[in-house]
Chains A and B, each alone.
Chain A
Amino acid sequence: MVILTLEDLRVEYDADAGKVRAVDRGTFSVPHGKVVGLVGESGCGKTTLARAVIGVMARNARITHGQIRFEGRDLIAAGVSDQRAVRWREIAFIPQSAMNALDPVYRVSTQLREVLVERGGYKSANVAARIDELFRMVGLDPRRQRDFPHQFSGGMRQRVGIALALALQPKLLIADEPVTALDVIVQRQVLDTLVDLQKRFALSLILVTHDISVVAYVCDRIVVMYAGQVIETGTAAEVLERPFHPYTMGLTNAFPDLTRATDQLVPIPGSPPDLSEAQVGCRFAKRCPFAIAHCRSHDPPLTAVAEDHQASCWRAGDAQKLRLEAREARTWSPL
Chain B
Amino acid sequence: MADASEVPLTAARLRPRFDGAVRLLLAPFRDSLAAAGALIYATFVTIALLADVIAPYDPLEILFRPDGNLASSMPAGWQHPLGTTNLGRDIFSQLVIGTRAALVVGLTAAVVVALIGTVVGLVSGYFGGWIDAVLMRLADVALGIPFLPFVILIAGLLGPRTSNVIVGIALLLWPNTARVIRSQVLTVRERAFVEAARVTGASHTRIMFVHVAPNILPLSFLYGSIAVGWAILTEASIAFLGFGPSDRVSWGYMLQDAYASQALSRGDYNWFVPPGLCIVLVVVAGFFISRGYEEILFPKLKD
Contacts and interface: CB of A to CB of B under 8 A. Distances in A.
Interface in A16-54: 16
A59 interface: yes
A100 interface: no
A16 B303 CA distance: 10
A60 B302 CA distance: 11
Interface of A: 16, 58-60
Interface residues of B, number: 2
Interface string B281-303: 00000000000000000000011
Contacts of B303: 58-60
Interface in B4-49: none
Nearest to B302: A16
A16 B301 CA distance: 11
A200 B302 CA distance: 45
A163 B302 CA distance: 35
A129 B302 CA distance: 45
A145 B303 CA distance: 35
A285 to B, nearest CB: 33
List 3 A-B pairs, minimum CB-CB distance, nearest first. A60-B303, A59-B303, A16-B302
4 contacts: A16-B302, A58-B303, A59-B303, A60-B303
Contacts of A58: 303
Nearest to A58: B303
Contacts of B302: 16
A16 to B, nearest CB: 7
A96 B302 CA distance: 24
A12 to B, nearest CB: 15
A221 to B, nearest CB: 35
A59 B303 CA distance: 8
Interface in B174-208: none
B50 to A, nearest CB: 44
A58 B302 CA distance: 13
Contacts of A16: 302
Contacts of A60: 303
A58 B303 CA distance: 9
B295 to A, nearest CB: 15
B30 to A, nearest CB: 15
Nearest to A60: B303
A16 B302 CA distance: 9
A59 B302 CA distance: 12
B261 to A, nearest CB: 55
A60 B303 CA distance: 8
A92 to B, nearest CB: 26
A123 B303 CA distance: 39
Nearest to A14: B303
A160 B221 CA distance: 48
A15 to B, nearest CB: 10
A182 B101 CA distance: 64
B222 to A, nearest CB: 25
